[in-house]
Amino acid sequence: MRAKKATLNSVVMLLNVLVMSIFGLVVPRMILRHFGSDYNGIIISITQFAGYVTLLAAGVDGATRAALYKPLAEHDTLKISGIMWATENFFRKIAIIYGGILFGIAVFYPFLVSDNFVWPFVFSLTLILGIETFVLYFFGATYQTLLAADQRAYIGIVVRTCVTILNIGVVAFLISAGYDIRIVMIASAITFMLHPFFLYVYVRKRYALSSIAQSDNSALKQRWDAFAHQFAYFIKLNVGAIVATVFLGIMEASVYLVYIMIIRLVRVLVQSIAGASIEAPFGEMLAKKEHKALQGGIKLNEFLINSASTLLLVCTALLIVPFVTVYTTGVYDVNYYRPLFAFIACAAEFAFVARLPLSSVVNAAGHFRQTRNGAIVEVVINIVLSVILVQFFGLVGVALGSLCAMLFRTVQMSLYASNHIVKRSFMVFVRKLVLSLATAAIIIALASLLPEMAEVSYLSWILHALPVFGIALGVTGLFAVLFYREELVMLWKLVRKVVGFSSS
């Protein structure tokens, strides 16, 4: 059952990634073509600035999931209910505080972009872009956490996917019809708000939560330790856009965000292929003390993550610049040709993805306090280096700051997990990382022998991308056969089990 849930979560997440990829590519493209890079830059920048307020809730989600694994495994409804009520109370307080801070951002942020936009426009746009997050925290965030901990994240993902498809149609229609960007964004926000409302209704009916259970605030005792981890992840997601906006301007921020949008879509694709919700199964294994199953799960997940990230992120590094060239055809207000920045940004994302299997184990075990300092150091490295290096190297400096921070944190997290939870030599992780780097080097060397893209068109890009992907797939597959034979056997057994050919 656990394997089938994990597979279902991964398949649904993969579908969601494909839909989100369409949304992430189509909508910004339409904004770029109909409104310009300045509008695209300010929309994403406002979203990033407003997103900083979500740090108020950082740590609660991780702490709640860690607290839920044991009562869910033991079917302790009273305990589950107490954790849910404590979490819901916290999230609703956060929603109210978020609303107040969002209003403050709406008042003062327009002064940062006064050269490009008038105050009333930015004020109203900021409030519109922030309303979806308010509704999510007030109604849906608590129940999203419960579904994730119970290995049923696929339910919320399916709804989110359907809502996104609807949203693409609504936004495309309104932009094509010539509506004001604020009308477009408020329609988009209203559509996305269907997701948290569904989570609220579904979980209330699906789970027999006890109304007499007392709020179990002790379940959130690790929220400040988990906060450090969430804060580091938040900085990873947002510091580049903020630094680019403040030090380089909205136009450069638009360039940064177009590349990062594509790279992050690929990263989510990697996670969906390798098991997007693997933390919950790890948490159940730890709660039931199934140590042998845990070891096997980690080994298989590492193989999937390493193979998928090498294949897809190396292809992204080789193909993203020509893709962006095609994607931004007709947009001449800023130069989108940034090959060095793209390569370093892909390397930073690879460094982040490499630690996911072991960081999932750390989170499942609830070892937030023990690994907190590493998360704090990562934040410091990311911010300080990005701010310093952007002065000398522009967007390349921002990417270098992220890369250094990701490398540090990956080594630190992997060392801790290897020594204290997985109980194995750190050199196992190093060996697998070296294999991934060797695979990447061979793919890049072989792909460099291919001719350049013939012309600036999507068809030409596809014809260029196919042999690159073929080379990457062949080299990755060869390394898997040579160095991951045990993991391939485990994967085959898992596939047979999931599709019903084996009952073991």
Same domain for 143 and 247: no
Question: What letter represents residue 429's amino acid?
Answer: F
d(CA 35, CA 254): 13
Q: Is 460 helix (H, G, I), strand (E, B) or coil?
A: helix
Same domain for 388 and 254: yes
Q: Residue 462's pLDDT is what?
A: 93
pLDDT for 52-62, tens place per residue?
666 666 667 77
Q: Residue 389's pLDDT is what?
A: 96
Using the 3D structure, point to which of 156, 179, 209 is the last residue of a domain. Answer: 209
Q: Residue 49's pLDDT is what?
A: 67
Angle at 369 between CA 366 and CA 375, to 5 degrees: 105
Same domain for 173 and 248: no
Q: Residue 101's pLDDT is what?
A: 83
Is 177 a member of any domain? Answer: yes
Q: What percent of the chain has pLDDT over 90?
A: 27
Q: Which two tokens stand for residue 395?
A: 């967007």
Kindly write down the DSSP assignment for every residue of 160-191, as one continuous string. Answer: HHHHHHHHHHHHHHHHHTT--HHHHHHHHHHH
Q: Residue 211's pLDDT is what?
A: 78
Q: Could you give the count of Cα atoms lying within 13 Å of 69 in the half-sphere of its Cβ?
A: 22
Is 215 a member of any domain? Answer: no
Q: Which two tokens stand for residue 250?
A: 């909205």
pLDDT for 375-407, tens place per residue?
889 989 999 999 999 999 999 999 999 999 999
Is 221 a member of any domain? Answer: no
Give the residue among 197, 441, 432, 224 at the shortest CA–CA distance from 314: 441
Average pLDDT over residues 462-475: 95
Same domain for 287 and 194: no
Average pLDDT over residues 413-421: 89
Is 90 a member of any domain? Answer: yes
**pLDDT band, very low/low/confident/very high, at 105 (cuts 50, 70, 90):** confident
CB contact at 8 A, 465 and 319: yes
Q: Could you give the count of Cα atoms lying within 13 Å of 208 in the half-sphere of its Cβ?
A: 4
Of 63-72, 160-169, 314-323, 473-482, the range with the lowest mean pLDDT is: 63-72
d(CA 144, CA 389): 38
Q: Residue 218's pLDDT is what?
A: 76
d(CA 339, CA 317): 9
Same domain for 264 and 369: yes
Q: Which two tokens stand for residue 345?
A: 């940004």
d(CA 305, CA 353): 7
Residue 465 pLDDT more than 80? yes
Same domain for 381 and 233: yes
**pLDDT band, very low/low/confident/very high, at 503 (cuts 50, 70, 90):** very low
Average pLDDT over residues 433-460: 91
d(CA 160, CA 96): 24
Q: Which two tokens stand for residue 84?
A: 């849910």
Q: Could you give the count of Cα atoms lying within 13 Å of 398 in the half-sphere of its Cβ?
A: 27
CB contact at 8 A, 167 and 192: yes
Same domain for 252 and 157: no
d(CA 280, CA 145): 11
CB contact at 8 A, 157 and 16: yes
Same domain for 251 and 194: no
d(CA 381, CA 238): 14
- Residues with Cβ < 8 Å from 411, sequence gap 6 or more? none
Question: What letter represents residue 13's amino acid?
Answer: M
Q: For residue 374, count other CB atoms closer than 10 A to its CB.
A: 19
Average predicted confidence (pLDDT) for the chain: 85
d(CA 302, CA 307): 8
C-alpha distances in Å from residue 244, one per residue of 192, 238, 394, 432: 28, 10, 8, 34
Using the 3D structure, point to which of 149, 182, 209 is the last residue of a domain. Answer: 209
Q: Residue 409's pLDDT is what?
A: 92
pLDDT for 194-226, tens place per residue?
988 888 888 888 887 887 788 877 767 777 777
Is 21 a member of any domain? Answer: yes
Angle at 150 between CA 149 and CA 151, to 5 degrees: 90
pLDDT for 42-93, tens place per residue?
787 777 666 666 666 666 777 788 888 888 888 888 888 898 888 888 888 8
Using the 3D structure, point to which of 181, 209, 237 is the last residue of a domain. Answer: 209
| Helical residues (DSSP H) of 288-425, grouped into ranges | 291-327, 339-353, 356-365, 372-393, 395-420
- Write down the residue that tokens 């291919």 correspond to: 450
Question: What letter represents residue 35's amino acid?
Answer: F
CB contact at 8 A, 399 and 406: no
Q: How many domains does the chain have?
A: 2
Residues, the chain: 504
Is 9 a member of any domain? Answer: yes
Same domain for 132 and 66: yes
Is 205 a member of any domain? Answer: yes
pLDDT for 114-166, tens place per residue?
777 888 988 998 888 888 888 888 888 888 888 888 888 888 888 888 998 89
Q: Residue 323's pLDDT is what?
A: 93
Q: What percent of the chain has pLDDT over 70?
A: 94
Same domain for 371 and 467: yes
Residue 477 pLDDT more than 60? yes
**pLDDT band, very low/low/confident/very high, at 231 (cuts 50, 70, 90):** confident
Q: Residue 408's pLDDT is what?
A: 94
Same domain for 377 and 440: yes
Q: Residue 210's pLDDT is what?
A: 80
Enclosing domain of residue 58:
1-209
d(CA 420, CA 427): 14
DSSP secondary-structure letter at 450? Answer: S
d(CA 166, CA 162): 6
Residue 504 pLDDT more than 50? no
**pLDDT band, very low/low/confident/very high, at 460 (cuts 50, 70, 90):** very high
Same domain for 283 and 142: no
CB contact at 8 A, 17 and 269: yes
| Burial of 144 from C-beta contacts in 10 A (0-12 / 13-18 / 19+) | buried
Q: Which two tokens stand for residue 401?
A: 């700051």
Q: Which two tokens stand for residue 355?
A: 């630690």
Average pLDDT over residues 458-486: 94
Is 77 a member of any domain? Answer: yes
d(CA 404, CA 165): 37
Residue 365 pLDDT more than 50? yes
